[in-house]
Amino acid sequence: MSFYVRVPGTSANIGPGFDSIGIALSLYNEYEVSELESGEQFINIDPQFANAEHLMVRSIRYVEDAFGLPHKGILLKAVKEEIPVARGLGSSAAMISAGVCLANALHGLMLPSIKLLNLVSEIEGHPDNVSPALFGGLTVSCKTEDGYYTKLLTPDRCFLFAVAIPDFEVPTKEARRLLPVNVPREDAIHNLSRTGLLLGGLTDGDPDCLRRALSDRLHEPYRKKLIPDFDRVSRFMAERGAIGTVISGAGPTLLSVFSNPDRETEEKIRRFKRDEALLNQECEAHWVIRFLPVDMDGTSVVNTDWE
Ligand code: HSE
């Protein structure tokens, strides 16, 4: 059997929603996958991923082992790999979601979406990137006594998202090590209240509410030091109409939200390419800015034997 799999990049946290909220963005990795007699072969795969420990293959093996199934031989060919590695845009989550969905298709398991969610979350360890990678859209996830659970939400169409991606990596493990085990009660309240505002603002299309919501005290204060240009990029985005700028996932990519782009904002966005050069003159790292619509499809696996 052969398949075509497409999986979106994701941005987790979105300010106050640490380890629980995420959104899928239209930045894609796409692969052709065929069955082999045995083992694994890779074609065109990002060298950072191309070995027997490839996270997509490991995720396929995880599902096979969970169901006591034999390991199928896999030929994995990258068609497109747009999601940068170790930048806070969910490259690992994408590999995990693609792997779990492929195992589901390869073995004809027809697993319900809640089971897929639990498999991807167990592999990743937290659900905030894997959930939107799997389902698309805006997701709020938690771990309950019965396993992981996700509520899917649709962000209002008035919002536009931009990512500023620097030319350096921050491994998630390193960025998580910086976080304190305990937090002051006022910081917990700060985030709790803003998480409610974030979801209300994003789904109701309320930029004023969102402006107040895009503030975090659980991870950004500790991680900013890994991103020396944080304030410069945030100011640059604010001057061009951004409602707010936050660290995307564990960073170092920054996520900015824009709303109701009027003529003036549209003109400013058109000028972003030229202005990017100005920003880069001021910054320590080199930044690339991309405007990305929300992806509403999540991971799709198509059987190409029928084409
Ligand atoms: N919520 C996670 C974090 C996302 O901020 O560490 C990165 O995996």
Could you tell me the distance, in angstroms and rounded to a whole number, from the CA of residue 178 to the centre of ligand 1? 12
- The domain that holds 115 is classified in CATH as 3.30.230.10
User: Which of 60-64, 145-149, 276-280, 300-304 comes out lowest in average pLDDT?
Assistant: 276-280
pLDDT on residue 39: 83
Could you tell me the distance, in angstroms and rounded to a whole number, from the CA of residue 13 to the centre of ligand 1? 7
Q: Are residues 76 and 213 in the same domain?
A: no
Q: Burial, 117: exposed, middle or buried (Cβ in 10 Å; 0-12, 13-18, 19+)?
A: buried
- Residues 75 and 45: beta-carbon distance below 8 Å: no
- Residues 94 and 85: beta-carbon distance below 8 Å: no
- The domain that holds 244 is classified in CATH as 3.30.70.890
SS3 content of the chain, % helix, strand, coil (to 5): 40, 30, 35
Question: Atom 6 (ligand 1): residue with closest C-alpha?
Answer: 250
Q: Are residues 108 and 187 in the same domain?
A: no
Tens digits of residue pLDDT in 51-103: 557 899 999 999 999 999 999 999 999 999 999 999 999 999 999 999 999 99
Tens digits of residue pLDDT in 253-282: 999 999 876 666 667 667 777 788 888 999
Question: Atom 1 (ligand 1): residue with closest C-alpha?
Answer: 19
* Residue 223 Cβ contacting ligand 1 at under 6 Å: no
Q: Are residues 131 and 163 in the same domain?
A: no
Q: Are residues 203 and 70 in the same domain?
A: no
- Residues 158 and 259: beta-carbon distance below 8 Å: yes
The pTM (predicted TM-score) of the whole model is: 0.93
Pocket test of ligand 1: the residue of 19, 96, 174 to mutate, having most ligand atoms within 8 Å of its CB, is 19
The share of the chain scoring above pLDDT 70, in percent, equals 94
* Residue 223 pLDDT exceeds 90: yes
Q: Are residues 36 and 170 in the same domain?
A: no
- Tell me how far CA of residue 171 lies from CA of 21, 234, 289, in angstroms: 20, 22, 21
Q: Are residues 287 and 138 in the same domain?
A: no
- Residues 165 and 42: beta-carbon distance below 8 Å: no
Q: Are residues 73 and 111 in the same domain?
A: yes
Mean pLDDT of 127-152: 97
Mean pLDDT of 101-118: 97
Mean pLDDT of 195-201: 98
Task: State which amino acid sits at residue 143.
Answer: K
Q: Are residues 168 and 144 in the same domain?
A: no
pLDDT on residue 142: 96
* Residue 9 pLDDT exceeds 80: yes
Please tell me which residue, 262 or 306, carries the higher pLDDT value.
Answer: 306
Q: Are residues 61 and 190 in the same domain?
A: no
Query: 238, 275, 270: which is closest to 254 by C-alpha?
Result: 238
Nearest-atom number in ligand 1 for the CA of 179 is 6
Report the domain count for the chain: 2
Residue 171: give the domain boundaries. 159-292
* Residue 133 Cβ contacting ligand 1 at under 6 Å: no
Could you tell me the distance, in angstroms and rounded to a whole number, from the CA of residue 227 to the centre of ligand 1? 15
Listed in sequence order, the residues at least 6 apart from 202 whose beta carbon sits closer than 8 Å to its beta carbon are 14, 138, 153, 155, 156, 159, 210
* Residue 143 Cβ contacting ligand 1 at under 6 Å: no
pLDDT on residue 44: 76
- Residues 156 and 259: beta-carbon distance below 8 Å: no
Q: Are residues 275 and 217 in the same domain?
A: yes
55-66 and 91-106 are packed helices; what angle lies between their axes, rounded to 10 degrees?
40
Nearest-atom number in ligand 1 for the CA of 175 is 6
Could you tell me the distance, in angstroms and rounded to a whole number, from the CA of residue 75 to the centre of ligand 1? 30
* Residue 250 Cβ contacting ligand 1 at under 6 Å: yes
* Residue 204 pLDDT exceeds 90: yes
pLDDT on residue 166: 97
- Pull the structure tokens for residue 288: 């690339």
Nearest-atom number in ligand 1 for the CA of 92 is 8
pLDDT on residue 57: 93
Element (H, E) at 97: helix 91-106
Report the relative pairing of strands 40-43 and 147-153 from DSSP bridges: unpaired
Q: Are residues 299 and 242 in the same domain?
A: no
133-155 CB burial, b ≥16 within 10 A, e <16 = bbbbbbbbbeeeeeebbbebeeb
Could you tell me the distance, in angstroms and rounded to a whole number, from the CA of residue 60 to the centre of ligand 1? 23
* Residue 87 Cβ contacting ligand 1 at under 6 Å: no
pLDDT on residue 220: 97
Q: Are residues 234 and 302 in the same domain?
A: no
* Residue 146 pLDDT exceeds 60: yes
